[in-house]
Amino acid sequence: DVVMTQSPLSLPVTLGQPASISCRSSQSLVHSDGNTYLNWFQQRPGQSPRRLIYKVSNRDSGVPDRFSGSGSGTDFTLKISRVEAEDVGVYYCMQGTYWPRTFGQGTNLEIK
Amino acid sequence: EVQLLESGGDLVQPGGSLRLSCAASGFTFAGQAMSWVRQAPGKGLEWVSSISGSTDSTYYADSVKGRFTISRDNSKNTLYLQMNSLRAEDTAVYYCAKGATLIDQWGQGTLVTVSS
């Protein structure tokens, strides 16, 4: 199975400051079709997950442009340019290239 | 607007069975891959199973293989998860999700508690 390793697992951030979450996979996520199926999800307290980013760097409709994704191969990053109060929650990366699908452990973003 | 409405969660004894349903609307269900993802209390997300949109190929996590069965009824726009031989470690909120490679929408979840 592909292991997804996120860091940090806890991320205290001051409002207005940037935040960065790393996600590393145990093998390259480049699919045979040429795409890299790395997704990022946000789960606010008490809510269902919501997708923010798909295929590494594509932002979903309605997602603020302060969120961005980057990376390639086995190394990926989710960045928030300026953290707002509504960004509190747990962030997960997930790979959709291999079966079984696997998630990272989650990164808990809180306001310092 | 895409809507995914799970139902069927309940308290069940170890060794028991349960069937979850997910009523989908707002998109063309037939031909769309679908998944189940679970979240144990206070824990992270765990992929459980997926079913393809076209060939009805099915995929399972090792932790549920042989005990859970995913299926769909395209005439009813409904996804199912038949869960047998339930264990305490199956206790979780079960989410229905649209997609399998690019999961893009989630339901609100249904709680399954396995306890005597």
Amino acid at the residue B23: A
What pLDDT is recorded for position B55? 67
**Grouped pLDDT means (10 residues each) for chain B, 116 residues:** 97 98 97 97 98 88 98 94 98 97 96 98
State the Rg of chain B over Cα: 13
Cβ contact, residue pair A60, B104, below 8 Å: yes
The string of pLDDT tens digits covering residues B66-99 is 999 999 999 999 999 999 999 999 999 999 999 9
Which member of A50, A100, A105 has the closest CB to residue B44? A105
Shortest distance, CA A78 to any CA of chain B (angstroms): 17
Whether the CB of A7 is below 8 Å from some CB of chain B: the reply is no
B108/A105 Cβ within 8 A: no
Decide if B45 and A102 are in contact by the 8 Å CB cutoff: no
